Structure 1
Amino acid sequence: MNTILLAGGLAVVGLVIGYLLATLFVKGGKKRLLEESNKQADLAVQEARLTAKRLVDEAQTKAEKIEAQSEAKNEAIKNRKIQEAKEKYGKLKAQFETEKAEHKIELKDREVDVVNKENELKSKIDSINSKAESLEVKESEVKAIKDNLEKQIKVVSKRKEELDQSTEKIIKELETIARLTEAQAREQLIDAIRAKAESQAMAVEKEAVAMAKSNAAREAKKIVIQTIQRMCAEYTIENTVSVFNLESDDIKGQIIGREGRNIRALEAATGAEIVVDDTPEAIVISSFDPIRREICRIALKRLVADGRIHPARIEEVVAKVKKQMDEQIIEIGERTVIDLDVHGLNPYLVKMVGRMRFRSSYGQNLLKHSIETAQLCAVMAAELGLNPKQVKVAKRAGLLHDIGKVSEEESELSHAILGMQICEKHGEQPDVCNAVGAHHDEIEMTNIISPVVQACDAISGARPGARREILESYLKRIGDLEDLAMGFEGVQKAYALQAGRELRVIVESEKVSDENVDDLSFMISQKIQNEMQYPGQVKVTVIREKRAIAYAR
């Protein structure tokens, strides 16, 4: 279009130029020049027309070329869109086919499940029908037995009436002959029977007592011999006392302190009893709780090494040792679970495993017993053909089966049930929890791991020399003594000393006044006397201490 306009413009310019030249020639009066001008003008017009035509042809050619290119481009775009649509259709079709196949598989699985459930229901219905038929048979048998019993009852009732009549007749005849009423005769007969029975009972009693004494002596000797044979020497004093060695006896006076204040402060802070006697270069630390005894031993060692021994320093050192003891307990627990290849244990349970190191069960170290039980559980589970996962679960349950014995919670539950609750609270799987709770048959066993743990616990405990009954009962009595005192309001701490012959009770000064100290001591002693069994007597000492602190600045 622009080319056509340009050609037209050139033609118009040529005409204008010719017109101007013609006008000049007219004004000049030269005809020849006018003619030449006209010719030149005609030539210019023709040339302009040719140029315009050429430009028009070129423009038309370019327009046709552009139109052809546009059509080709549109065709390519169209073909590409068609190809994309085909590809998308193919993908959607493939996806549809895949989903269709998966749906068919799912429907087939569901159909199989439905068939299985139908078979199960059918078998249950058959079982119920057979049971119903059996019940009907039993019901008919019971009915026949009932009818027979009713007949027998009627016969017995008839015989009873006849016997009653005969008895009444005989009694009247006897009353006439013996000149005694029925009541008098019955009383005389009862007295005679009673005297005879008492005589026979006394004879049987004497014989039973003699036999019991004989059997008791024989069984006592047998038990003592077995105990000596099964006793392990390494457990004789491990759970009762620790001996702290001194470089010289001169340090004993510094440890005792003025009027024994250092000893009292150390005993009050640790709860252990310190015995300073004539034993050369040694102090005995006695406590039924191994953790208290170990804290006391370490604190005493540091105090002696430091040289500064006074109540304030004692309290400071004991506090640090207690903190380090907690860290040591956690380290022992972590090392134990790593050695046993037990993973994913809750940190609280790891700490409880560490506390087992300082506890004993019938003289047997609880951590060693738990490790031994865990290893036995793993071996037994493998021998039973259980899969590796169940073997690990058995080992885990064996390690945790006595976790209730080291619980920091005060509870009236048995250690098995308490341990099960602790495991449930801290995320252990149901098989482990059931094995812990059922290893003393206190709950029903629901999996194969539970009897494995129970059997391995019995094997470990029954190993010759593993356990002692006497020490366990002693520790239980000491623990019950402290728990009894802690049950009173205002009691802060309670420590059993001198093998349970003394109970030292520390009260809070804000809750218990000086006037109430005597009453509290009396009430504790009365409760011990009424509820506990103990040899000799128990001395109850109630301590009330109030500290007033002020700073001079």
Structure 2
Amino acid sequence: MPQSLIILLLLGSSLIALLLVLFARREAAAEREAARNEAAMVREEAQARLAEVKRREENSLAREKDVAGDQRTAQQYARALDERAAVVARDEKRLAQTRGRLEDERTAALAAVAKTTVDEARTELTEALLERARAAAAVELRRLEKRTQANAEERARAILVEAMQRQAAASSSEHSTTWIDLPSEEMKGRIIGREGRNIRAFEALTGVTVVVEEGVNAVQLSCFDPDRREIAEVTLAALVEDGRIQPQRVEAEYTRAVAGAVQRHRAAGLDALTAAGVSGVATEVVDTLGRLRLRTSYGQNVLAHLVEASQIAADIAAAVGADVEVARRGALLHDVGKAFSHEQKGTHAGLGARFAAEHGEEPAVVNAIAAHHDDVPAETIEAVIVQVADAVSASRPGARREDIDAYLKRMENLERLVLEHHGVTRVLAMAAGREVRVVVEPDEIDDAGTQALARTIAEHITQDFTFPGEIKVTVIRELRADAVAG
């Protein structure tokens, strides 16, 4: 290698090393400058914090001085109050002493004037004051009693009026007929049957009169007994829907309608419970309530009356702060005994109370049922509310009519009178009491005996039963023989 090249390389290396040294020094100088700047900032921040601390210490010292001054002022004010209280106490003591001395002097003066001792004067004065106080208290008490009574009567009227307004629907049922719509005029012919055999079989089986009128696309079922009329309605509706009407079909549908009465009762009872807002009632009680849908009292539907009375009792109980559920339940069940009062001895209130107790009703509800006609004392405020609700539901305008009740009673008496005769198994008062159909036992009454029995019954009715017009007596003797081949 030439010597000049070597020299150049050495010079280049030296220059590079010198540049690196200079660069390193410059970086070191920059780092020292940055360190000095950072140290200066730290010193400034420390000085600022130190100044803040000193300022806060000075403020604290100033507040402590103010507090100390306030404490000294408060202590001085408290001492001044204590001194003022002591002065007031001394003045009150002196005043009391002066008052006592003056009272004694006045009493002594009164005693001297009245020529009595101090004790006697004190006694007389006390008695006079007491008498005046009693008289004033009696007058004030009487005034308060009158005001309270007036307010109570006004409040009671408001509660009853509000309860009655909420139950303004009519619940009376004065008709003894039911209309069945027909799909066509031709259905009337099927109902009558050839030579009237279908309608005769229907009336003989159900005890209901079928009225077929021209120009009306419906037939009318007439019967005073709502049970028989309802079963006949179900039977005829099923026959009309099926379209096949003959005596055998009439008997089959009638049997099915009688068997389905329990389900219809239960459905009506459940609807009543829902309307009244009552739950947790035994199934037997539900079925018995449903039976009341076909009962009336002075033209008022009994089940509708129970639901209405239950709602009225709940409104009254809520207004006066009584037990709403007990009042609601007692009112709903208060006439449940009417479902079997005609079958058992006793009042419907007593029978209903015993029936409710046997099926798990609580004593308060049982007492409300038993006491709603004052047969037994009312033991709770809810029992009194049930009495009020029963009276309101029965006596409000449009609730009851007496004509239908008298009519039903007359029909029942007529059937009961005819049923007393020997051999009679069934009596059906029909055509609003203008006809009585009598079913006899064929083994006890023969064909010749039917004529004699008809005359005997007619004479008995004429002698012991008051009625307008005429009553036709029809005695039916039917002999059936059944056999099974197999």
Tell me which interval the TM-score lies in, with the shorter structure as reference length: 0.5 to 0.7
Q: Give distance in 1, aligned partners of 2:336 and 2:171.
A: 24
> Match for 1:517 among 433, 450, 472?
450
Query: 2:399 is paired with a residue of what secondary structure?
Result: coil
Q: How does 1:146-157 map to 2 (within 5 A)?
A: none
> Match for 2:435 among 502, 510, 530?
502
Q: Give distance in 1, aligned partners of 2:356 and 2:422.
A: 31
User: Are 1:250 and 2:186 matched, yes or no?
Assistant: yes
Q: C-alpha displacement at 1:498, in angstroms? A: 1.1
| 1:384 counterpart residue number | 320
1:107-148 CA-partner distances (Å, limit 9, x unpaired): xxxxxxxxxxxxxxxxxxxxxxxxxxxxxxxxxxxxxxxxxx
> Match for 2:303 among 343, 354, 367?
367
Query: 2:303 is paired with a residue of what secondary structure?
Result: helix
Q: Give distance in 1, aligned partners of 2:404 and 2:199.
A: 26
Aligned-pair identity in percent equals: 43
Q: Give distance in 2, aligned partners of 1:481 and 1:353.
A: 28
User: Are 1:400 and 2:333 matched, yes or no?
Assistant: yes
Q: How does 1:65-80 map to 2 (within 5 A)?
A: none
Task: Give the paired residue count.
Answer: 319
CA contact (8 A) 2:223 2:229 kept: yes
> Match for 1:345 among 278, 281, 292?
281
CA contact (8 A) 1:421 1:433 kept: yes
1:310-359 CA-partner distances (Å, limit 9, x unpaired): 11110101111222332121122123224434334232221111122222
User: Are 1:266 and 2:202 matched, yes or no?
Assistant: yes
CA RMSD of aligned residues (A): 2.9
> Match for 1:278 among 204, 208, 214?
214
1:467-518 CA-partner distances (Å, limit 9, x unpaired): 1111121122222322333444543322211111222222232344445434
- Paired AA for residue 439 in structure 1: H
User: Are 1:453 and 2:386 matched, yes or no?
Assistant: yes
| 2:481 counterpart residue number | 548
| 1:311 counterpart residue number | 247
Q: 1:276 to 1:354 in 2, by over 3 A?
A: same
CA contact (8 A) 2:206 2:232 kept: yes
Q: Give distance in 1, aligned partners of 2:436 and 2:469.
A: 13
> Match for 2:469 among 536, 545, 550?
536
Q: 1:356 to 1:236 in 2, by over 3 A?
A: closer
Q: Give distance in 2, aligned partners of 1:284 and 1:377.
A: 38
Q: Give distance in 2, aligned partners of 1:395 and 1:333.
A: 15
Q: C-alpha displacement at 1:266, in angstroms? A: 1.1
Structure 1, 434-443 or 540-549: larger mean CA deviation? 434-443
1:193-240 CA-partner distances (Å, limit 9, x unpaired): xxxxxxxxxxxxxxxxxxxxxxxxxxxxxxxxxxxxxx9889576x32
Q: 1:320 to 1:444 in 2, by over 3 A?
A: same
Q: C-alpha displacement at 1:291, in angstroms? A: 3.5
Q: C-alpha displacement at 1:457, in angstroms? A: 0.9
> Match for 1:299 among 222, 235, 238?
235
In the superposition, the TM-score normalised over structure 2's length comes to 0.59
| 1:12 counterpart residue number | none
Return 5+ residue gaps in structure 1 as ranges. Answer: 1-230
Q: Give distance in 1, aligned partners of 2:310 and 2:169.
A: 22
1:356-393 CA-partner distances (Å, limit 9, x unpaired): 2222222222222100101112222333332x3xx322
- Paired AA for residue 333 in structure 1: G
Q: Give distance in 2, aligned partners of 1:426 and 1:531.
A: 43
- Which structure carries more relative contact order (alpha carbon 8 Å, separation 6+)? 2
User: Are 1:432 and 2:365 matched, yes or no?
Assistant: yes
Q: 1:486 to 1:339 in 2, by over 3 A?
A: same
Q: 1:484 to 1:416 in 2, by over 3 A?
A: farther
